Amino acid sequence: MKFARLYFTPMDISLVIPLYNEAESLPELCAWIKRVLDAQGYSYEIILVDDGSNDNSWAVIQSLKNDIPEISGIRFRRNYGKSAALNVGFEAAQGDVVITMDADLQDSPDEIPVLFQRIKEENLDVISGWKKKRYDPLTKTIPTKLFNAVTRKMSGIHNLHDFNCGLKAYKNEVVKSIEVYGEMHRYIPVLAKWAGFTQIAEQVVEHRARKYGTTKFGFSRFVNGFLDLLSIFFVGKFAKRPMHFFGTMGMLSFLGGLAITIWLIVDKLTDISKGLAYRNVTDQPLFYIALVAIIVGFQLFLTGFIAELVSRNAPERNHYHIGDKV
């Protein structure tokens, strides 16, 4: 876990652009970015993170750097995923405002000045783009809407419609305070919230039709994304107190099983006292349900106890996100 500090950056904007096999779109994208930012007079850097492309993307980046000195490139030896590319880009970013966008030209660089101005003028921590009008097929848009609805409910960030939009803007200290891994790039606003950055807003942005290549994401991203959401929710809320989660669940399961067992015994004793026919406790299905509940409850409690020991001995057990100091 990282600390939030004050970062003094002489540069206005850092553009972090992860890419995988986007050689065709890179020259047009970088020229467009340079044209927009030079017109505004911003100081900036363009960080292109090649996520192990197997086309000539890296050669294109090297060529572009000769014409656009603001470009810097980082190349992975193999494909690690978008989250890893963003995390490395965030570590390298020097700008006061960090803006991420995709390399496939579906995000418009014309949006950059507005995002920068809103971060500075409204003192926002994060601005997430919302592609209100999309050019994706229904097989992608319908699961995305469901996915975003679940994320809003679980994260408590109710003002965002599109968590997965690649076009986002951050204060520098936000990206230096979070770690992005797995498939967590979809949940950077959630990670920022858990790190204490609550000024999160949304900006309607243009979604352009893909001009080159094909999408790099399949249906599996929704499954992986949902599992990562559960992971973020748990770690963000219970990382430093796992017993509160496992212990509570274990206690409820144990007490539920115990209550059923006592009821079965009392019911049998009542029938005996009244001279009525009765069934053995072990002959009743409820007994085995109660037995499983008791065992599961005991195991959950032990899991919480072990997790608590691990948490208390972790080197970062007393690392917290610190804001300002005077």
Q: In the chain, pLDDT over 90 holds for what percent of residues?
A: 48
CATH ID of 11-238, from 3.90.550.10, 1.10.260.40, 3.40.50.720, 3.30.43.10: 3.90.550.10
Phi/psi of residue 124, nearest 5 degrees: -90, 150
In this prediction, residue 208 carries a pLDDT of: 78
Name the average pLDDT for the chain. 84
Tokens linked to 257 = 């099983």
Q: Between 99 and 190, whose confidence is greater?
A: 99
Assess contact for 134 and 205: CB atoms under 8 A: no
| pLDDT bracket for residue 38 (50, 70, 90) | very high
Rounded-to-integer distance, Cα 127 and Cα 119, Å: 7
Residue 236 has pLDDT above 70, yes or no: no
Assess contact for 224 and 275: CB atoms under 8 A: no
Tokens linked to 320 = 């917290």
Residue 175 has pLDDT above 70, yes or no: yes
Q: Are strands 11-19 and 44-50 parallel, antiparallel or unpaired?
A: parallel
Q: Average the pLDDT over 239-262 and give the result.
A: 87
Assess contact for 119 and 127: CB atoms under 8 A: yes
Residue 1 has pLDDT above 60, yes or no: no
Q: Spell out the residues 6+ positions from residue 305 whose beta carbon is closer than 8 angstroms to its own.
A: 243, 246, 247
| pLDDT bracket for residue 217 (50, 70, 90) | low
Q: Between 79 and 146, whose confidence is greater?
A: 79
Q: Is 149 helix (H, G, I), strand (E, B) or coil?
A: helix
In this prediction, residue 117 carries a pLDDT of: 95
In this prediction, residue 213 carries a pLDDT of: 63
**Rg of the chain taking only CA atoms, in angstroms:** 26
Q: Average the pLDDT over 186-192 and give the result.
A: 88
| pLDDT bracket for residue 154 (50, 70, 90) | confident
Among 72-76, 263-267, 279-283, which stretch is predicted with the lowest mean pLDDT?
A: 279-283
Rounded-to-integer distance, Cα 146 and Cα 168, Å: 21
Angle formed by the axes of helices 285-312 and 242-273, to 10°?
Answer: 160
Count other Cβ atoms within 10 Å, centred on residue 305.
15
Residue 206 has pLDDT above 60, yes or no: yes
Tell me the per-residue pLDDT of 92-111, one tens digit each, with 9 for 90 and over. 999 999 999 999 898 999 99
Q: Is 126 helix (H, G, I), strand (E, B) or coil?
A: strand
Q: Between 305 and 39, whose confidence is greater?
A: 39
In this prediction, residue 153 carries a pLDDT of: 83
In this prediction, residue 2 carries a pLDDT of: 46
| pLDDT bracket for residue 257 (50, 70, 90) | very high
What's the whole-model pTM score?
A: 0.72
Q: In the chain, pLDDT over 70 holds for what percent of residues?
A: 82
Phi/psi of residue 188, nearest 5 degrees: -60, -40
Residue 271 has pLDDT above 60, yes or no: yes
Q: Between 29 and 280, whose confidence is greater?
A: 29
Q: Between 20 and 208, whose confidence is greater?
A: 20
Q: Between 315 and 76, whose confidence is greater?
A: 76
End-to-end CA distance of the chain: 23
Q: Average the pLDDT over 313-319 and give the result.
A: 56
